[in-house]
Homo-oligomer: A and B are copies of this chain.
Amino acid sequence: MLRAIKKYKESISYGISLAMLFFLLRWLEIRLLIFEHQFEIYASIIAVLFTILGIWIANKITSPKVKTIIVEKEIHRIQHEFVLNENNLNLYKISKRELEVLSLIAAGKSNQEIATELYVSISTVKTHIANLFEKLNAKRRTQAIEAAKKLQLLP
């Protein structure tokens, strides 16, 4: 019941407005003595008032045009973890030991430091590095690092 009232609220108020206006007009007719062009004046008043009512109803009723704005919200990935490209490892025939040396080079270690860390002589390290340069087509360790990063052999 309440729902029905709510639903037809506009129509009901419209009807009530109409009725009230008639009463008002009748009352005016009795009270004031409008004889000449009586009808035209009433009609004009009704016309104007109901036009205003129409506008008001229109504003109330009309469904708003929906404008959808898509806001792109960027989400930064913190870091995406390194995954060794084993394919390139096989392709360039780089051995495990060589990869170890390579990562130590990239870590900024000297040949002597690498030798100490891997418990081998500096000669061995140099040999590994020479082989790496050959395989990675590098002339310097900095070049080797660059190449290795491109081949996803280093993070």
Chain A residues engaging chain B, CB cutoff 8 angstroms? 14, 18, 21-22, 25, 39-40, 42-44, 46-48, 50-59, 61-62, 64-78, 80, 105-110, 138-147
- Taking CB atoms, residues of chain B closer than 8 Å to A106 are 142, 146
Query: From residue A64, how far is it (CB to closest CB) to chain B in Å?
Result: 4
Bound-state Cα–Cα, A43 to B40, Å: 11
A64 / chain B contacts, CB cutoff of 8 Å: 64-67
Q: Can you list 7 contacts pairing A with B, beta carbon distance less than 8 Å?
A: A22-B40, A46-B46, A68-B71, A75-B76, A108-B143, A110-B139, A141-B142
Complex-state Cα separation, A65 to B74, whole angstroms: 25
> Which of A25, A51, A52 has the most chain B CB atoms inside 10 A of its CB?
A51
* Cβ-defined contact, A146 with B72, below 8 A: no
A124 to B80, CA, bound (A): 38
Q: Which residues of B contact A25 (CB under 8 A)?
A: 43
- Which of B52, B76, B107 is A54 in contact with, Cβ under 8 Å? B52
The minimal Cβ–Cβ distance linking A35 to chain B, given in whole angstroms, is 14
| Contact residues in B for A59 (Cβ distance below 8 Å) | 58, 62
Give chain B residues whose Cβ lies under 8 Å from the Cβ of A105.
142
Contact between chains at B18 and A44 (CB < 8 Å): yes
Partner of A39, one of B42, B73, B145: B42
